Amino acid sequence: PQWDHLDMQDRADHALIRLRQELSVYANLRQFRLYAGLEDASAVKADLISGGVDFIILRELSSGAYYGQPKFSEVTPSGRRAIDTIEYYDFQVERLTRYGYELARQRRCRLTSMSKWNALESSRLWRDVVEEMAAEYPDVDTQHEIVDAGAMNLIQRPAEYDVIVMPNMFGDILGDEAAVLAGSIGMVPSAEISLDGTSLYEPIHGSANDIEGKNIANPIGTILSGALMFRYSLDCPDGADEIERAVGRVIEEGYRTADILRSPGQQRVSTSEMGDLVVAKLRE
Domains and CATH numbers, the chain: 8-283 (3.40.718.10)
Catalytic machinery residues: 66, 116, 148, 172, 176
pLDDT band of 3, cuts 50, 70, 90: low
161-196: per-residue pLDDT in tens?
Answer: 999 999 999 999 999 999 999 999 999 999 999 977
Residues 6+ apart with CB under 8 A from 173: 151
Torsion, CA 200, CA 198, CA 142, CA 127, rounded to 10: 90
pTM of the shown model: 0.92
Calculate the CA 199 to chain-centre distance.
15
**3-class DSSP assignment, residue 230:** helix
At residue 68, φ and ψ (nearest 5 deg) are -60, 145
**3-class DSSP assignment, residue 193:** strand
Asked if 189 contacts 227 with a C-beta cutoff of 8 angstroms, the reply is yes
Between the CA of residue 150 and those of 79, 164, 278, what are the distances in Å? 35, 10, 34
47-79: per-residue pLDDT in tens?
Answer: 999 999 999 999 999 999 999 999 999 999 999
User: CA 248 to CA 255: how far, in whole Å?
Assistant: 10
pLDDT band of 35, cuts 50, 70, 90: very high
User: CA 207 to CA 12: how far, in whole Å?
Assistant: 12
Asked if 53 contacts 33 with a C-beta cutoff of 8 angstroms, the reply is yes
Asked if 42 contacts 34 with a C-beta cutoff of 8 angstroms, the reply is yes
Taking 90 as the threshold, does the pLDDT of residue 241 lie above it?
yes
User: CA 267 to CA 280: how far, in whole Å?
Assistant: 17
User: CA 122 to CA 227: how far, in whole Å?
Assistant: 34
Asked if 278 contacts 269 with a C-beta cutoff of 8 angstroms, the reply is no
202-223: per-residue pLDDT in tens?
Answer: 999 877 788 889 999 999 999 9
CB environment 17-29: b (16+ within 10 A), e (fewer)? eeebeeeebbbbb
pLDDT band of 119, cuts 50, 70, 90: very high
User: What value does the mean pLDDT of the chain take?
Assistant: 94
Average pLDDT over residues 3-11: 71
Rg (alpha carbons) of the chain, rounded to whole number: 20
Give the closest residue to 134 by CA, choosing from 115, 113, 154.
113
Taking 80 as the threshold, does the pLDDT of residue 1 lie above it?
no
- Burial class of residue 107, CB neighbours in 10 A (0-12, 13-18, 19+): middle
Residues 6+ apart with CB under 8 A from 167: 59, 60, 64, 65, 86, 88, 115, 122, 123, 126
- Bin 80: left if φ > 0, else alpha if -120 < ψ < 50, else beta: beta
- Burial class of residue 186, CB neighbours in 10 A (0-12, 13-18, 19+): buried
The pLDDT value given to residue 8: 67
